[in-house]
Amino acid sequence: MTVSSTPFSEGFVVSSKSPSTHILSLGSVAKSFAGLKAVNDVSLDVHQNSLTALIGPNGAGKTTLFALISGFIKPDTGTIEYNGVDITGVAPFDNARNGLTRTFQIVQPFAGQTVLENVAVGAHLHFTKRSLALEYASHVIEKMGLLPHARKLSSDLTIAFRKRLELAKALATQPKLILLDEVLAGLNPREIQEMIPLVKSLVTEGVTVLMIEHVMQAVMNLAEKVYVLDHGALIAEGTPSEVTQNEMVIEAYLGKGTAERLNRKSAKLDMKAHP
């Protein structure tokens, strides 16, 4: 399953700005809902075979942006390019066929079906034969650590396993770019620790990941690049450590003036630590 686009892609991932390594680029995408600008003039690029995070306070428009990229809603203005092809307004199922799929923040299992059947639905995208689809599905299930639950009803799973199922369903479609919408939300620290390597393994297998995440531990751990969205607009981008020190980001999360206060506090602490 290892897909590397060019022999020297590894060296290119971080440094190159050439458009050929962008699997996804948004150009001034905007969407408003009856006066509310949910996404306002957002431009961002996702490098081939990288793990990019999209963070921001609640209601910042992250999920809307995912819906725009995957085709569930159409942008008012702007363009979305995937692999150099304009996919603005392309239906989500066509995007999935081209290797761009998403997961849902509020997990959307096919409640009446078993875990295996759920994942097989995704596998059917590339396998017409039922037995082959089931075989591939069980392969994905094994990778996601869901094997003991393969025959349970998806509605009987705990939230942690439902999140994994969400991931497994999307993976079964053999995506090139996967949009993960808060796969870690609602999990306890141990479950997060178990989930992080799974997400990491996607990138090593050649899948590009764009993830929305609130769990900063994961973002710091996983992401090569972070985009910060607030009130529908991009307010910062950079490496995780750059972004977390960005004053605008701190203020977006913790309120106006917090950055200053925090700076003062850390200065005081520094004074105490190294008098």
Contacts with another protein, residue ranges (CB under 8 A): 70, 72, 91-94, 96-97, 101-104, 108-114, 116-117, 120-122, 124-125, 127-131, 133-135, 138, 141-142, 147-148, 150-153, 155, 169-170, 172-173
CB of 174 to another protein, least distance (A): 10
CB of 202 to another protein, least distance (A): 16
| CB-based contacts of 131, cutoff 8 Å, min separation 6 | none
CB of 51 to another protein, least distance (A): 20
Question: Is residue 46 a contact partner of residue 100, using CB atoms and an 8 Å limit?
Answer: no
In terms of CB distance, is 120 or 229 closer to another protein?
A: 120
CB of 93 to another protein, least distance (A): 5
In terms of CB distance, is 132 or 216 closer to another protein?
A: 132
In terms of CB distance, is 112 or 255 closer to another protein?
A: 112
CB of 261 to another protein, least distance (A): 42
In terms of CB distance, is 159 or 269 closer to another protein?
A: 159
Closest to 252 in 3D by CA, of 65, 37, 42, 56: 56
